[in-house]
A and B are shown apart, each in its own frame.
Chain A
Amino acid sequence: MSSCAIINKTYLHGMTQGKSDEANKNYQLLSEISQRLQESQYFGLIAKGTFQELDEVFRETLTPDWDGYGALPVEKETFLDTKKFLILLPLYITPPHISAEPDGNLTLEWFSSPDWLFSISIDSKGFLHYAAKFGMRRNYGSEPFFDSISQNILDLILVVGK
């Protein structure tokens, strides 16, 4: 029998969470492989400078009033959630532009034109707030972020970030 493959995105939904030593080791091994690919010049967001950009934005927004207009500082939880979100992105995604907001959220934006863009704002409580503008079409909402990126959000990123 030949080996057929259908391509879907179920891997984004992570693994069933085990607690044995073996479960932890398997998780660690797979994370290492994933990180190695992220480090590659061709595939990875690490090589493309995305994580460095995130570090720089975080450093500039760590203290209150970082914008001179009373902005709230970006919390470390927000920073680390954003990093986790970037690590979970599929390898072929275009790097987003990263910025901070006065309410202390970090924003990832995929921009094609003023009428064709998608942004995700990550808060310190682990919620993602997203907004898409694809011509006349609008899509927005919020959802919790734990250890996987929802299909809904990924599909929206793919409209701009392919």
Chain B
Amino acid sequence: MKKSDFKIDPNQEFPHLKNAPIVEAALEIRTIPEFEWDEKKTRVMIEQNIKEYPNIQIQKESLTQLHPPNPPKPIYSDRWRGYLCKSSDNLNILQVNIESFVFSRIKPYENWERFFSEALKLWGIYKEYAKVKSIRRLGLRFINKISVHNTNSINIDDYLTYPPHTPDNMDMLFTEFLHRDSLAAPNYPYNVTIIRALKANPKINGADIIIDIDVFDLSLENSSEISIELLKTKFSEMRWLKNEIFFKTLKKEKWESMK
């Protein structure tokens, strides 16, 4: 394989889309628990330190037996794993979990600066409470949904730069598709999972095209280096990757119409 020229440029400017199709932006930092968390103490910490997220729900790990024995006897468990906290308008969501910090912004997404500064502020609180010493995984995921209303057929080529094809271009029609690609960035520690999907949506008498981009980094797994500066560098590079992939996945005419 030839040497790659792949280069990340975090300073590159991308077009601002006033009507960006982002339905969720999520930033996750998976950690290694340093102590056994107490459910009540964690709630008190959230109520005292994260007052802008007053809608607090218990997060339970829903373990369900998928293949019950004969005769079927379902078994459920709901072990506590943390709290899900929502802002008053329910648009910002924080997950304070034993093994992970996740900050999500549900649509409308405003801009990266607001999203990232809020995430960093909350991470500071989490990090102090959880006494985080090491990180297992960094993730930055943006889910985009392009809804096509009132139609019986869609030309996928109009939306995606690399659409799926029927076998050897057989003369058949897609009714839906789900395509998952996993890519590695040469010379960088980042991986990306891209999900492209087409799903019929009876509510709009049409269909939704999903472009779900999840950039992640596992290179910190055995490192204790978790400074804010490092996270800023990492996430700005991951953001560049996410943007580059988005603008190279959706057809230019489509994203230009979102400006």
Contact = CB atoms under 8 A, between A and B. Distances in A.
B79 interface: yes
A64 interface: no
A19 B23 contact: no
Contact of A146 (B99, B143, B182, B216): B99
B6 to A, nearest CB: 12
Interface residues of B, number: 52
Contacts of A8: 184, 191
A23 interface: yes
Interface residues of A, number: 41
A72 B163 CA distance: 55
Contacts of A26: 143, 195, 197, 210, 212
B251 interface: no
A20 B69 contact: no
Secondary structure at chain B's binding surface: helix, strand, loop or mixed? Answer: strand
Nearest to B138: A16
A77 B79 contact: yes
A70 interface: no
A15 B79 CA distance: 21
B75 A22 contact: no
Interface in A1-53: 4, 6, 8, 10-11, 13, 15-23, 25-26, 29-30, 33, 35, 46, 51-52
Interface of B: 1, 23-24, 26-28, 32-33, 61, 63-67, 69, 75-77, 79, 81, 84, 93, 95, 98-100, 102, 104, 106-107, 136-137, 139-141, 143, 145, 178, 180, 182, 184, 191, 193, 195, 197, 199, 210, 212, 214, 216, 218, 221
